[in-house]
């Protein structure tokens, strides 16, 4: 009887070990969670639309700004002069058009006995040229006005100024970014799940992301799963041939697939900073099936003991 109990206890321990091994396999290999997550954010790289010298900086590093706030100011003098010239040109073109209209009207009222058809056509053409010149002057005025407004470079988003290095006296160049603003409404999480876990991950599933150093989780939802990752063996060698790395056939590492997670308003005591790492677990989707005891193994052990 004692011997039978020993065999039975050994069998129970073996079954428990198998169950634990299967449960561990499901948790660590197939269940939808990963420690490889990172907070990401969109950054607006602000570049001036005109060139000039910076005469005033109205922001500082890590300052919170609203959309439309002035970040810095470019020297206005040249653009004010251009605006005044455009206004003067408008007056000149309007006066010239009035003269050309009057001349054309007088010639149009005359009969062919007093003037020729060719002369009428010339004065009619002069009036049309004056109309076009006035339209061009108005376009130049609009451009001068917008250029003057562009001397005040404004934030395109609500967020935080980051890595500010400019100072008064620097030169601003068209299309060259010199201020970066983090969009506070664009945070998301990139989670890199192993391919063995993708079967339990679906768009719309609720997830919990725990930032390193914080206990309160950030709640979000799976927004999308990437359509592909780069293949190292797809690169060509110097001769244009496929460059295939040798791989151990008995070791097969699972690829990590990026999954984009949208997040709402996070907990007040948990700051969201781009680059922070986190652990991500899918809590609202179809999870891996719970492990069940293998009754077949248990029954066979009992029958052998009997």
Domain span at 63: 46-182
**Separation of alpha carbons 33 and 49, rounded Å:** 46
Residue 18 lies in a domain: no
pLDDT at position 161 is 97
Q: How far apart are CA 234 and CA 244, in angstroms?
A: 8
Q: Which residues contact 296 (CB under 8 A, 6 or more apart)?
A: none
Residue finishing a domain among 162, 182, 202: 182
User: Is there a domain that residue 271 lies in?
Assistant: yes
> 160 near 65, Cβ under 8 Å?
yes
CB 237 within 8 A of CB 243: yes
Beta carbons within 8 Å of 76's beta carbon, 6+ residues apart: 148, 151
pLDDT in the model for residue 106: 78
Say if residue 52 is in the same domain as residue 178: yes
Confidence bin at 235 (pLDDT 50/70/90): confident
Q: 57 and 176 share a domain?
A: yes
141 and 212 in a common domain: no
Coil, helix or strand at residue 210: strand
End-to-end CA separation in angstroms for the chain: 11
Of 182, 204, 230, the domain-final residue: 182
**Cβ neighbourhood burial of 222 (10 Å; 0-12, 13-18, 19+):** buried
Domain match, 168 and 192 both: no
59 and 175 share one domain: yes
pLDDT exceeds 70 at position 165: yes
Nearest to 222 by CA among 244, 198, 245, 203: 203
Chain mean pLDDT for the chain: 85
141 pLDDT above the threshold of 90: yes
Q: What is the mean pLDDT of residues 223-242?
A: 82
State residue 292's pLDDT score. 40
Count Cβ atoms below 10 Å from residue 66 Cβ, excluding itself: 10
Which residues make beta-bridge pairs with 206? 221
| Weakest-pLDDT range from 74-78, 100-104, 160-164 | 100-104
Instruction: Answer left, alpha or beta for residue 154, where phi above 0 means left and psi between -120 and 50 means alpha.
Output: beta
- Domain assignment present for residue 88? The answer is yes
One domain for residues 219 and 163? no
Domain boundary among 121, 147, 182: 182
List phi, psi (to 5°) of 116.
Answer: -90, 160
Residue 227's nearest CA partner among 253, 198, 252 is 198
Domain at 36, CATH number: 2.40.30.170
With a cut of 70, say whether residue 69 has pLDDT above it: yes
Query: Are 141 and 199 found together in one domain?
Result: no
CA neighbor of 231 nearest in space, from 248, 255, 249, 252: 255
Q: What secondary structure letter does DSSP report for 236?
A: B
Indicate whether 208 and 228 sit together in one domain: yes
306 in a structural domain: no
Residue 210: predicted pLDDT: 92
Q: How many domains are there within the chain?
A: 2
Res. 38: pLDDT tops 60: yes
Q: What's the rounded Cα separation, in Å, for the pair 210 and 256?
A: 19
- Considering only 4-18, 50-64, 189-203, 253-267, which range has the smallest mean pLDDT? 4-18
pLDDT score at 247: 66
Same domain, 91 and 154: yes
pLDDT average, residue stretch 227-239: 79
Domain-embedded: residue 23: no
Q: Is residue 55 classed as helix, strand or coil in its secondary structure?
A: strand
**What is the pLDDT confidence band of residue 249, given thresholds at 50, 70 and 90?**
low
Question: Residue 232 class from Cβ within 10 Å (0-12 exposed, 13-18 middle, 19+ buried)?
Answer: exposed
Asked whether residue 14 is domain-assigned, the answer is: no
pLDDT tens-digit profile of 267-277?
A: 778 888 999 99
pTM for this prediction: 0.75
Residues paired with residue 261 on neighbouring β-strands, in sequence order? 189, 222
Give domain status of residue 176, yes or no.
Answer: yes
- pLDDT tens for residues 275-296? 999 999 998 755 444 334 344 4
* pLDDT tens profile 10-36: 777 878 888 777 766 555 555 688 999
What whole-number distance in Å separates Cα of residue 244 and Cα of residue 233? 5
Residues 164, 237, single domain; the answer is no
State residue 289's pLDDT score: 40
Q: How confident is the model at residue 252 (pLDDT cuts 50, 70, 90)?
A: confident
The CATH number covering residue 67 comes to 2.40.50.100
Residue 280 included in any domain: yes
Structure tokens given for 195: 């391919």
How high is the pLDDT of residue 248?
64
**Percent of the chain at pLDDT above 90?**
55
């Amino acid at each position: 009887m004692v011997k039978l109990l020993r065999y039975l206890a050994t069998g129970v321990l073996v079954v428990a070990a198998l169950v634990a091994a299967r449960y561990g396999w499901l948790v660590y290999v197939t269940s939808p969670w990963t420690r490889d997550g990172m907070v990401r954010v969109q950054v607006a790289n602000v570049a001036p639309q005109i060139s000039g010298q910076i005469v005033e900086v109205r922001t500082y590093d890590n300052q919170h700004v609203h959309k439309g706030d002035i970040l810095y100011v470019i020297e206005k003098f040249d653009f004010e002069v251009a605006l005044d010239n455009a206004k003067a040109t408008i007056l000149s073109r309007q006066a010239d058009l009035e003269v050309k209209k009057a001349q054309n009207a007088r010639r149009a009222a005359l009969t062919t006995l007093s003037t020729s058809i060719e002369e009428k056509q010339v004065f009619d053409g002069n009036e049309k040229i004056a109309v076009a010149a006035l339209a061009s002057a108005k376009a130049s005025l609009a451009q001068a006005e917008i250029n003057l407004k562009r001397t005040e470079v404004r934030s395109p988003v609500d967020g935080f100024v980051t890595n500010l290095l400019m100072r008064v006296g620097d030169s601003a160049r068209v299309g060259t970014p010199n201020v970066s603003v983090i969009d506070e409404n664009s945070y998301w999480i990139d989670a890199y799940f192993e391919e063995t876990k993708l079967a339990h991950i679906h768009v719309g599933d609720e997830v919990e992301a725990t930032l390193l150093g914080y206990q309160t989780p950030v709640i979000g939802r799976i927004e999308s799963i990437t359509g592909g990752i780069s293949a190292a063996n797809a690169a060509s060698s110097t001769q244009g041939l496929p460059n295939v790395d040798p791989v151990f056939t008995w070791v097969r590492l699972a690829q990590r697939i990026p999954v984009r997670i949208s997040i709402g308003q996070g907990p007040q005591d948990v700051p969201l900073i781009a680059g922070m790492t986190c652990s991500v677990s899918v809590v609202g989707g179809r999870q891996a099936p719970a492990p069940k005891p293998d009754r077949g193994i248990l029954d066979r052990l009992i029958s052998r003991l009997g």
